[in-house]
Amino acid sequence: MNQRHLLFIGVFFVAVWILSLPGAAHAATPPAGSYAAGLAPADVMNQIINVYKQAAAPMAQRLEQLAEDLFFVLAAIEVAWSASRLVLGPTGFTDLIELR
């Protein structure tokens, strides 16, 4: 084995050892006077999620209405396209744009 392989194996085992440490060893403890000092990490994440949910709530209804409108416009285009293909037949469009 050359030095590169030995270095890779060493780095791999150090990474496995660090990742196998208990979860509390990875978590940073907040300072005593900070906002998050009295909160569990799950509480902080729940508060962040709730802020984003409250901010997105007014937009959700408007986006849903826009999506429905877009769906109906695209459905109407599809129906019109299918009807024109049915009326004009298999060679209808080529006859319309044929140059003579």
pLDDT reported for residue 38? 57
pLDDT reported for residue 22? 61
Q: Where in the chain are the domains?
A: 39-100
pLDDT reported for residue 72? 97
CA distances from 29 to 38, 39, 42, 50, 68 (A): 11, 11, 14, 23, 47
pLDDT (tens digit, 9 = 90+) per residue, 45-78?
888 888 888 888 888 888 999 999 999 999 999 9
pLDDT (tens digit, 9 = 90+) per residue, 14-40?
787 777 766 555 555 555 555 555 556
DSSP 31: P
DSSP states of 52-87 as a string? Answer: HHHHHHHHHHHHHHHHHHHHHHHHHHHHHHHHHHHH
- CA nearest 40: which of 29, 25, 51, 54? 29
